[in-house]
Amino acid sequence: MTENESVGLSSPQEFKVAEAGEIADGGTKIINMVGRTIALFRIKNEYFAIANACLHRGGPLGEGEVRDYEVTCPWHGWKYNLLDGSFSMIPTLRVKTFKVKATIEGVFVEL
């Protein structure tokens, strides 16, 4: 038994969520996977993945306007930093972020 198994932890898994070049710069893709809804953003050829639910009322962050690495919830205007998931008014409040890896084989999110 490995150390992770002994304490009930599982290793993170990568899931392919998009083809290379599928999402235009400034674009977003909503992904439903493993019981989660994730918003995937492409900004300046970098990818960011966050939970697709605003902390306020569950608004769809993937449908929000993105400006300078910040997404605005389309329902009530809450703003989140795509780099770390922090809420602009109270940075200790955060939506879940996910590691993203882009290769020529595609875009992968780690869960």
DSSP label at residue 24: P
Parallel, antiparallel or unpaired: strands 97-98 and 46-51: antiparallel
What CATH number should be reported for the domain holding residue 78?
2.102.10.10
What's the pLDDT score for residue 61? 98
pLDDT of 65-98, one tens digit each?
A: 999 899 999 999 999 999 999 999 999 999 999 9
| Rounded Cα distance, 10 and 32, in Å | 21
Q: Count structural domains, the chain.
A: 1
Note down the domain range covering 54.
Answer: 13-110
- Spatial distance between the Cα atoms of 103 and 78, rounded to a whole number of angstroms: 32
d(CA 9, CA 52): 25
Residue 68 located in a structural domain: yes
Tell me if 3 is assigned to some domain. Answer: no
Q: Is residue 5 part of a domain?
A: no
Q: What is the pLDDT of residues 20-62, one digit of tens each?
A: 999 999 999 999 988 899 999 999 999 999 999 999 999 999 9
Check residue 12 and give its pLDDT.
81
The secondary structure of residue 89, as a DSSP letter, is S
Coil vs helix vs strand at 61: helix
